[in-house]
Amino acid sequence: MNHKLDISVVIPLLNEEESLRELFDWIHGVMEEHSFSYEVIFVDDGSSDDSWKIIEALAEQNTAIRGIKFQRNYGKSAALQKAFEITKGKVVITMDADLQDSPEEIPELYRMIVEEGFDVVSGWKKKRYDPLSKTIPTKLYNWTARRLSGIYLHDFNCGLKAYKSIVVKSIELYGDMHRYVPVLAKYAGFANIGEKVVQHQARKYGTSKFGLNRFVHGPLDLLTVVFMGKFGKKPMHFFGVIGSLMFVIGFILALYLGAGKLIDLIQGNSAPLLASRAEFFISLTAMILGGQFFLAGFIAEMIGRNSSSRNAYLIEKKL
């Protein structure tokens, strides 16, 4: 893939009119100082203020600026996905628009991708300027993400990240999956993931656009990402194993109960009805649930085999 630019900076935003000019001037200064060729892609995620007018005005003054405007708010994942599709830089850097991410980190992030060969470099806001109501749940969330994903990053939700271009072209973001781009990258075959301590600035303008509901949705999205990464191409390996195990356990228990009943009848002993025993309903439930799990895996396999993307593996090099 031929790249015309060194760096693409992707900035999703929602109602950040106060900070846009200052942020771009800061980025421009860093790029000029280090002689990078670059583009800045602002994605206006349905702002109700004058953010888009400011982006248009900036674009008239500098051809490095590109913009995407959503008719309504679709979320950060959708904003990143649309920007990733049009990036031209060999290194793609994402950052927030609220001035809490420092553009001064860009040269080192770029170097780590180009010279050290990382596929992804994630920022780590080691010293944060956030209230305890945000930092404590974040620590718990990051601990859970490390355990489930096997990627030992300190700050999954840091907006300041750098990627090889091939990485962002190989993943698909939707919902709230923007938190788990490193996890998606790992499952796409880009396992060389690094981390860099970055500056965290106190918020200068406006207020946070994310509520406490992200601490509920985040873990659920993480389970989805981990499950799809491990079993998305082979759902039968998950549902089939669980279903078969449950069915076999239920069948053995039912067989044991039936054999005991038969032995009692042969010996002339009175035996209670099987339907009067709790073990019978446990075995029946296990067999029914086992069969349902197995069928779910079978149907998922059939759907997957008809998917146009089933064998859409990325070929990085070909002779």
Q: Decide if 15 is inside a domain.
A: yes
Q: Do 182 and 274 share a domain, yes or no?
A: no
Q: For the stretch 223-246, what's the b/e string if a residue is b when 16 or more beta carbons lie within 10 angstroms of its beta carbon?
A: eebbeebeeebebbebbbebbbeb
Q: Decide if 318 is inside a domain.
A: no
The residues of the chain scoring below 50 in pLDDT are 310-311, 313, 317-319
Q: Do 165 and 281 share a domain, yes or no?
A: no
C-beta of residue 66 within 8 angstroms of C-beta of residue 42: yes
- Distance CA(219)–CA(146), nearest Å, equals 11
Spatial CA neighbour of 12 closest among 179, 193, 247, 228: 179
C-beta of residue 204 within 8 angstroms of C-beta of residue 227: no
Q: Do 11 and 33 share a domain, yes or no?
A: yes
- Distance CA(161)–CA(8), nearest Å, equals 12
**pLDDT single digits (tens) 15-29:** 999 999 999 999 999
Q: Decide if 17 is inside a domain.
A: yes
C-beta of residue 22 within 8 angstroms of C-beta of residue 56: no
- Distance CA(88)–CA(103), nearest Å, equals 19
Spatial CA neighbour of 277 closest among 252, 249, 263, 258: 258
pLDDT at 208: 60
Q: Do 226 and 240 share a domain, yes or no?
A: no
Global pTM reads 0.74
- Distance CA(157)–CA(181), nearest Å, equals 10
Domain holding 217: CATH number? 3.90.550.10
pLDDT at 187: 85
How many domains, the chain? 2
Of 231, 251, 270, the last residue of a domain is 231
Q: Do 293 and 252 share a domain, yes or no?
A: yes
Q: Which helix (H) or strand (E) holds 40?
A: strand 38-44
- Distance CA(162)–CA(164), nearest Å, equals 7
Spatial CA neighbour of 87 closest among 12, 185, 158, 7: 7
Q: Do 75 and 210 share a domain, yes or no?
A: yes
**pLDDT single digits (tens) 232-248:** 667 787 888 899 999 99
- Distance CA(93)–CA(181), nearest Å, equals 12
Spatial CA neighbour of 32 closest among 24, 21, 20: 24
Q: Which domain holds residue 149?
A: 5-231
